[in-house]
A and B are shown apart, each in its own frame.
Chain A
Amino acid sequence: MVTSDRRLINGAEAMALAFNLAGVRVAYAYPITPQSEVMELLASDPNITCVASDSEYNVLAGAEGVLWAGERCAIATASQGLLYMSEVMWEVAGNRLPLVMGVFSRAVKGPGWCLGAQQNDVLFMRDTGWLHFICESAQQMMDLMLIAFRVAEKVSLPAIVSGDGYYVSHQKEPVYVPDLASSRQFVGDPPRQGLPTGGTAASYGALVPPASFLRLVRHIYEDMESALGVFVDASAEFADRFGRRYSPVDFLCADDADTILVTAGSIGGTAEHVVRMLRQQGMRVGLARMRCLRPFPAAMLRHGVRSAKRLVVVDRNLLYGIGGAVAAETRLALDVLSGPRPSVYSFVAGLGGIDVTPEMLMAAVEYAETKPPTVGRPLFVTEAGVEG
């Protein structure tokens, strides 16, 4: 029987609890705001051997070593820490080690230090071969972490579960915490076949000829693609067990909508509020919230938005030379549609942790409903409205 305990906790606590519920026995830690609370909680867990490492680079390398034994490992980071890990991230994915890492997104030091929420850290890792699930609340952090273990270990690829720093990491909310036995049962045992064992000659990650390299890389590509189906199945089982259902992209009021807001991360909660408010005013507005960014659920998104007139994509990130990342990927997803397709409006808001208010989202919707889309550059939305 499943019992859930309802607790007032933040996303950092939810993440640490999820590692515990998944049966993790080893953790690697290195402090960085806004992730440090996760590390403190893991270190105080008597069931976990927590290694206080010397850098995020060595946190990930250490975790890779733990995974080589067929043992799960808890790690979490943000911003500079994630960037510092990036070399090893390619190798962890290439070695097909299903590590699950928590990230609380924070702006990256470019022109200066800024500790606020911005998703460029995780989005920089889109090409590394890691699955990426993104949350808008502490409850989702708890749930998607558990689902991530299932998906990662099934497709033998590592996974990032991310939430926007502070909005998810620090904000307390009532969270249903599933009981230990049901969580362990849902997550299952970590796979151990094919891993190094003393006395057995085997080499891992050695030099391979280009033809073999191509074959290995294509396996990763195909298995990444298959992760969407695995996510759907794991999520269905999660819903049966725990009552909350997730889809790679969750739609709200999208079927008859003329305008659909598209978000990834904590803006989703505000967007839900705005959509419900505008619906009350009789406006045909809907919402698509990305839960899965790698693999990108292009077909699901395309199917869900195909009859809308316009998409209002609001990104809390900025890719220099491109614009918003989710907008760019949404455009790619629509590329195969023949005939009429929704216009894509790319808005960038909330960089550096600036709050994205309902008024800002309404200004974006109003702009899209009255003006043609800009080509080739995003529109910045601030409290002052849309800047052309």
Chain B
Amino acid sequence: MRDNLLDRLSESLDLPAPQQDVFVSGHTACPGCGAIPAIRAVTRIIGPNAIYLVPASCASLYVSPPDTTALQAPVIHTVFAAAFAQAEGLAYALKRQGRDERVVVWAGDGACYDIGLGGLSGIAARGADVLVFCNDNEGYQNTGGHQSTATPPDATTPIGRPTADDAPATSQRKDLVEILAAHRVRYIATASPAFPEDLEAKVKYASSLSGFRLILLMTTCVTWGFEARHSMRLARLTVDTGYFPLYEVEHGVRYRITYEPPMRAVEEFAALQKRFRNGDLVALKREIAQKWEDLRFKAGRYPDGAKA
């Protein structure tokens, strides 16, 4: 129940009523968790008429603490690799029953890039009517900041260091958007909670479509080694340094860059976090340059734009 000044103002000014928060207080995420503004924004846009699935992740803990839940919609907590197929099965059953709830997965990079990649690939290839959010905080942060295949080059984690004689450390990470683009899925986008208008447009558009859709969210994690107060500043820098491009891909081929970053120095982003202290950023800068070269090439193929 919202009965505040803003509501009454918007009524008197004949503005559209503000959307209700679906993710409310009571969660147990860390101070400075970059996923919270993201999940708030996403769930507010999608609304409560949805069934959410959460595989093993921080969200298994912070969304529904014992005997309560911060999400004002049903949420199914499941094991690490099972959320994608489960969402697909649910979507088929709802369709068979003529129900209209949306099926939404809120998964981390561990579930999407690593242990659940087979399941994600499966439902992507089958065009399941599921909207997936990959909350990419670049590692297994819940267990203590361990390396995933989304962990950037030059970062140090408790199980990997960016040194030449340490073979298991990541020298390059997977590109999830490209993996899914190769599946020719209906819609893929990247988004950041630090760019709320861009995020809102993408979530709204994805919600209006059916079939497989995935939005990759870059969210900051205090395990990166920064002060909580810098969380949103870092989130902006992931985008403004070109480290995390904002773009979308339709049907796996139509690319559109949705924000032109000022390309601030990546050192500015790296210096705020402890995880890059052992890296010289050479590999990271090369990755960023190659990503933009590839992205510009692909975005230029269809000048009509992604939605044509």
**Interaction A to B:** yes
**List of A residues within 8 angstroms of B119 by Cβ:** 54-55, 57-58, 61
**List of A residues within 8 angstroms of B90 by Cβ:** 65-66, 68-69
B64 contacts A203, C-beta separation under 8 Å: yes
**Selected contact of B92 from candidates A51, A55, A204, CB within 8 Å:** A51
State the CA gap A99–B28 with chains docked (Å). Answer: 33
B86 contacts A51, C-beta separation under 8 Å: no
**Selected contact of B75 from candidates A66, A88, A203, CB within 8 Å:** A203
A198 contacts B101, C-beta separation under 8 Å: yes
Q: Is B73 an interface residue (CB 8 A)?
A: yes
Q: List 17 A-B contacts (CB under 8 A).
A: A57-B81, A57-B118, A58-B84, A65-B87, A66-B89, A69-B90, A73-B93, A197-B101, A198-B74, A203-B64, A203-B74, A205-B77, A205-B78, A206-B65, A206-B75, A207-B66, A209-B66
One of B1-9, B48-56, B143-151, B222-230 contacting the partner: B48-56
Q: Which of B98-155 contact A (CB under 8 A)?
A: 99-102, 118-119, 121-122, 125-126
State the CA gap A60–B76 with chains docked (Å). Answer: 16
**Selected contact of B79 from candidates A53, A91, A208, A209, CB within 8 Å:** A91
- Minimal Cβ-Cβ distance residue in A for B28: A207
State the CA gap A160–B123 with chains docked (Å). Answer: 26
State the CA gap A71–B97 with chains docked (Å). Answer: 8
A88 contacts B69, C-beta separation under 8 Å: no
**List of A residues within 8 angstroms of B73 by Cβ:** 198-201
A281 to chain B, nearest CB (A): 55
State the CA gap A18–B287 with chains docked (Å). Answer: 55
- Minimal Cβ-Cβ distance residue in A for B66: A209
B84 contacts A26, C-beta separation under 8 Å: no
Q: Is B250 an interface residue (CB 8 A)?
A: no
Q: Is A179 an interface residue (CB 8 A)?
A: no
A203 contacts B71, C-beta separation under 8 Å: yes
A212 contacts B84, C-beta separation under 8 Å: no
- Minimal Cβ-Cβ distance residue in A for B126: A51
**List of A residues within 8 angstroms of B100 by Cβ:** 198
Q: Which of B188-244 contact A (CB under 8 A)?
A: none
Q: Is A122 an interface residue (CB 8 A)?
A: no
State the CA gap A55–B100 with chains docked (Å). Answer: 28
Contact with A along B280-299 (1 / 0, CB 8 A): 00000000000000000000
Number of contacting residues on A, CB 8 A? 43
Q: Is B177 an interface residue (CB 8 A)?
A: no
Q: Is B82 an interface residue (CB 8 A)?
A: yes
Number of contacting residues on B, CB 8 A? 47
Asked, given contacts A26-B96, A64-B89, A69-B90, whether A54 binds B51 with beta carbons under 8 Å apart, the answer is: no
A55 contacts B118, C-beta separation under 8 Å: yes
B51 contacts A57, C-beta separation under 8 Å: no
**List of B residues within 8 angstroms of A130 by Cβ:** none
State the CA gap A212–B50 with chains docked (Å). Answer: 27
A204 contacts B99, C-beta separation under 8 Å: no
**List of A residues within 8 angstroms of B126 by Cβ:** 51-52
State the CA gap A65–B93 with chains docked (Å). Answer: 8
**List of A residues within 8 angstroms of B66 by Cβ:** 206-209, 212
**List of A residues within 8 angstroms of B157 by Cβ:** none
**List of B residues within 8 angstroms of A66 by Cβ:** 89-90, 92-93
**Selected contact of B88 from candidates A62, A203, A205, CB within 8 Å:** A62
B27 to chain A, nearest CB (A): 12
State the CA gap A62–B86 with chains docked (Å). Answer: 4
Q: Is A202 an interface residue (CB 8 A)?
A: yes
B118 contacts A54, C-beta separation under 8 Å: yes
Q: Is B19 an interface residue (CB 8 A)?
A: no
A83 to chain B, nearest CB (A): 15
A206 contacts B77, C-beta separation under 8 Å: yes
**List of B residues within 8 angstroms of A209 by Cβ:** 66
Given contacts A49-B96, A62-B85, A69-B93, 7 further A-B contacts (CB under 8 A): A57-B81, A57-B119, A58-B122, A71-B97, A200-B73, A200-B74, A203-B71
State the CA gap A59–B84 with chains docked (Å). Answer: 11
A204 contacts B82, C-beta separation under 8 Å: no
B103 to chain A, nearest CB (A): 8
**List of B residues within 8 angstroms of A199 by Cβ:** 48-49, 73
A196 contacts B74, C-beta separation under 8 Å: yes
- Minimal Cβ-Cβ distance residue in B for A28: B89
- Minimal Cβ-Cβ distance residue in B for A51: B92
Q: Is A366 an interface residue (CB 8 A)?
A: no
